[in-house]
Amino acid sequence: MKRRHLAVLLIGVAALTNVAACGSGAGDKGGKNEAAAAGPLDPNTKVSITVGCQPPKSSPTLRTEWNNDVAAFQKLHPNITIVSKDAFPCEDPKTFTAKLAGGQMENVYYVYLTDAQNIIAAGQAADITKYVSGVKNYANLQPQLLNVFKGGGRLYGLPKTNYSMGLLYSRKLFAQAGLNPDQPPTTWDEVRADAKKIAALGNGVVGYADYSANNQGGWHFTAELYSQGGDMVTPDGKKAAFNSPQGRAVLQNLQQMRWTDSSMGSKQLLQISDVQPMMAAGRLGMYLSAPDNIPILVSQFQGKYADYGLAPMPGSRGTLIGGDGYMFNHKSTPDQIKAGILWLEFENLTPGKGQFDWAQKKIDKQPVGLPQPNIFTGPPAAEELRIRTQNANMPVDDYKAFAQGDPALKYRLEPPQAQQIYAVVDGVVSSVLTNRNANLDNLLSQAETKVNGILANAN
């Protein structure tokens, strides 16, 4: 949700192009020898590429780091010129669709994970399959992240970061309530029991908070449904699937905490902007969150790192993931694609460099030690973790439960037409949290009908 996406807006792009999703990018022109085209960039070939998502001037530290990385990269590759394009947000719903349809994107352009499949289907990304065989650490990228950028057995992009939802909790309130801060709840029954004990502290303390407005209720419902092993839509994306035992279990759990246990407080229709200050002020025991909420609690709301822990999603059946990456303008030449891949390898895919230059980030007083982004497996993952831990300025042991995770946990993307679906499900969650007598079955059935209409129109 914090990384809003354009799955709804991109549907129309497919009608604007006849480029096949599984075909080669437009850079593969004119009968060039396949083997030669796929080889490394000739160091004597001058190439200039535009790259999106340079940090804006309003983030001077991040912008300086980016510019320094560009300078270091160009020193290694003097034949490549990086022309950085800044924007905030990096993917702006007001301009992204038109730029994409008009072929006006940068040679290497920024995307959210949830948009990649729509872009591929619309034929607006170059096929980079034959260019990545020599990319350092490519074989150790998380398979579920790479799959996001695949279509028809071909590859159209590379991941930058990922996040997954977990349970953010107050170590301080856990201790005050007689709970062990080093043993956070692992099931929803345990969340309910712990929330009740925390709320019993009184003085306005809330045990567990959840969102129910501005599409954020539907977003969290999706995360909670995945944790129960449920699905938001059918595998073909054509029908709603949340009117299920798992969907009912999510609502019943919220209903019981809100009305039976009184552990969610009386104020509802909350959003992230309501919940973060509650946690930072020591008035909230738990809420669902990605790891990046922790430094926000400290930098924006004067919280203390020592007060927060992070655990995996309760239930261990699944967790909602999101993130971002880069794709390539289908008008790019093979040499521009090769140069872009070299840049992404340097900036995003090398432990100790670029986004993973934790030593420099520590010098720059940025938070170091969060258990994400986690895009690697095998030796690169171990190396990145070693460097991150060595330079940590945060209490990494407090996030150990989340970092270790559960091997059985399934990583799940947001559903198609996510924002429209979330708007519908917002009404379901808000009804449960504001109406003691809400009929769960009726709410799910009515929402199912509405979402089926949304999906039918999209298909």
Cα distances (Å, whole numbers) of residue 46 to 26, 30, 325, 405: 20, 20, 25, 45
The 10s digit of each residue's pLDDT in 337-391 is: 999 999 999 999 999 999 999 999 999 999 999 998 889 999 999 999 999 999 9
9-163+321-400 and 166-319+410-458, same CATH topology: yes
**Domain-wise residue ranges, the chain:** 9-163+321-400, 166-319+410-458
Yes or no: say if 26 and 158 are a contact pair by the CB < 8 Å rule: no
Q: Tell how far CA 261 is from the center of its chain.
A: 32
CATH number of 166-319+410-458: 3.40.190.10
Report which of 157, 125, 159, 156 is spatially closest to residue 142, judged by C-alpha positions: 159
Confidence of residue 2 (pLDDT cuts 50, 70, 90): very low
Confidence of residue 168 (pLDDT cuts 50, 70, 90): very high
| Cα gap 172→37, rounded to integer Å | 58
Quick one: tokens of 322? 């999101």
- Residues β-bridged to residue 150: 155
The 10s digit of each residue's pLDDT in 309-342 is: 999 999 878 889 888 999 999 999 999 999 999 9
The 10s digit of each residue's pLDDT in 184-214 is: 999 999 999 999 999 999 999 999 999 999 9
- Predicted TM-score (pTM) of the model is 0.84
The predicted pLDDT at position 428 comes to 98
Confidence of residue 37 (pLDDT cuts 50, 70, 90): low
The CATH class that applies to domain 9-163+321-400 reads: alpha beta
Report which of 191, 415, 231 is spatially closest to residue 318, judged by C-alpha positions: 231
The amino acid at 203: N
User: What is the percentage of the chain residues whose pLDDT exceeds 90?
Assistant: 76
Yes or no: say if 185 and 314 are a contact pair by the CB < 8 Å rule: yes
User: Among 22-31, 107-116, 287-296, where is mean pLDDT lowest?
Assistant: 22-31
User: How many CB atoms lie under 10 A from the CB of residue 379?
Assistant: 11
Answer yes or no: is pLDDT of 27 > 80: no
